[in-house]
Structure 1
Amino acid sequence: MTLFRALAAPLAVLALALPAQAAKLSLTDLSSYLNGLTTVESEFTQINADGTMSTGTIRISRPGKVRFEYAPPDRSLVVSDGQQVAIFDPKSNQPPEQYPLRRTPLNLILAPKVDLGTARMVVAHREDGPATRVTAQDPEHPEYGRIDMVFTANPTELRQWIITDDSGNQTTLILGEMRKGARLNAGLFDIGGEAQKRGVVVSDR
């Protein structure tokens, strides 16, 4: 499993009952919405670059922490502890692959303070039928890839994201119903603890 495939798990399909067109949500309002998210739990569907699909559960604890648990037959696990992202392969007894969170587009929405108004961060902001689509990248390191986020209004809700890697491969993540504000066990985001449970040793970072 590649990093970008792992990090881009789907979020919810846009409701057909929504009006055909809606006013574009402002970057200020969308930043406030993302900053207001503390914890999130949701089922997801992931559409990979090769057209295959995966499902599972995502848990987010802002800032910086996320856990993707993939359902059988995949059973992969991706965890960010706020600094590093670790990808656990259930078929391997080797240490997980690790990457700095700051080198992934997902860092743009997991940051302690999201400001989509930052110069050169947002490269596209438009209406997309009943939704608002925002394309963002690290303004200092566009080579890290980009993330397309799809939001609906009334109330504002993040529905899906698409991560594009530096080779142009895209992975879409569609969320189910988002359960917000629940207390999440810190151990869910403990890379070392997860490695210990699996009997593998985490390499030095």
Structure 2
Amino acid sequence: MINKLIFLFLLFSIVEASANVKEKIIQNLKSTNNLTFNFEQNVNGKTENGHCALSYPQKIFCKYNLKNNKILVSNGKSIVIKTNSSYYLYPLERTPLNLILNKKFLINKIENLNERILDNKFVNFKFFEEDFEVNIFFDYNTLDLIGWQTTDIYQNLSITFLNSVEKNQKLNSDLFDLPQQN
């Protein structure tokens, strides 16, 4: 009987701790207006890195550390990927970033998902929405967003790791203006 009581106590403690982490991540997201971070991105085996500023709702500016001066910018409605020699304009809603950059959507999803705790270092939430598979990762200790993995309708796998994450920095709103085509 004692063994059963100890088992039940441990089980309830684990469930409570797990729910506590999830609720803390939601609270952290609610208090986050923007993030700045360095990133490393792997798209179908090709690795790139750089620095981003993300502002909720649905704005992001990323400058890649590449010779072609690649930038990625979303103004909340459209997304532009620009280099010295190319310019691509997409509706944001047709990309997985539309989901990742939508804080209210993420909070709603997280509230209704079970989290996976990986090595007591990362907390992962996985969901499918529209034609996208999305994995979101948070740091177990800081509760900050530290990455995502997406698979799009063409089965392209994109993995993005964030580091040196800073929250609620003063950002210039002009940063999210779409660049003009050359």
TM bucket by the smaller chain? 0.7 to 0.9
Change (3 A) 1:76 1:132: same
What amino acid is aligned across from residue 110 of structure 1 in structure 2?
A: L
Q: 172, 179, 182: which is aligned to 1:185?
A: 172
| Structure with the largest fraction of helix | 2
TM-superposed CA distance for 1:34, in Å, is 2.2
What's the TM-score, normalizing by structure 2?
0.77
| Kept in 2: contact 1:85–1:99 (CA 8 A) | yes
Q: How does 1:40-55 map to 2 (within 5 A)?
A: 40-49=35-44, 51-55=45-49
Q: Helix, strand or coil: the match of 1:114? A: helix
CA offset digits 1:63-83 (Å, max 9, x no partner): 111011111234211100011
Determine the structure 1 residue equivalent to 2:123. Answer: 132
What amino acid is aligned across from residue 97 of structure 1 in structure 2?
A: Y
Q: 88, 97, 115: which is aligned to 2:88?
A: 97
TM-superposed CA distance for 1:54, in Å, is 0.8
What amino acid is aligned across from residue 148 of structure 2 in structure 1?
A: W
TM-superposed CA distance for 1:85, in Å, is 0.9
Q: Helix, strand or coil: the match of 2:105? A: coil
Determine the structure 2 residue equivalent to 1:203. Answer: none
1 or 2 for the larger relative contact order (CA 8 Å, sep ≥6)?
1
What's the TM-score, normalizing by structure 1?
0.69
Determine the structure 2 residue equivalent to 1:163. Answer: 150
Q: 109, 113, 123: which is aligned to 2:100?
A: 109
Structure 2 gaps, min length 5? 1-16
TM-superposed CA distance for 1:38, in Å, is 0.9
Between the aligned partners of 1:85 and 1:58, the Cα distance in structure 2 is 14
Q: How does 1:2-21 map to 2 (within 5 A)?
A: none
Q: Helix, strand or coil: the match of 1:75? A: coil
CA offset digits 1:41-61 (Å, max 9, x no partner): 111111221x22111111111
TM-superposed CA distance for 1:118, in Å, is 4.7
> In the comparison of the two structures, how many residue pairs are matched?
164
What amino acid is aligned across from residue 175 of structure 1 in structure 2?
A: L
> What is the percentage of aligned positions where both structures have the same residue?
26
Between the aligned partners of 2:169 and 2:23, the Cα distance in structure 1 is 25
| Kept in 2: contact 1:84–1:101 (CA 8 A) | yes
Q: Helix, strand or coil: the match of 2:116? A: strand
Q: 61, 68, 75: which is aligned to 1:67?
A: 61
Structure 1 gaps, min length 5? 1-22, 201-205
TM-superposed CA distance for 1:136, in Å, is 2.5
Between the aligned partners of 1:66 and 1:111, the Cα distance in structure 2 is 11
Determine the structure 2 residue equivalent to 1:175. Answer: 162
Larger Rg belongs to: 2
| Structure with the largest fraction of strand | 2
Change (3 A) 1:28 1:102: farther
Change (3 A) 1:27 1:74: farther
| Kept in 2: contact 1:34–1:109 (CA 8 A) | no
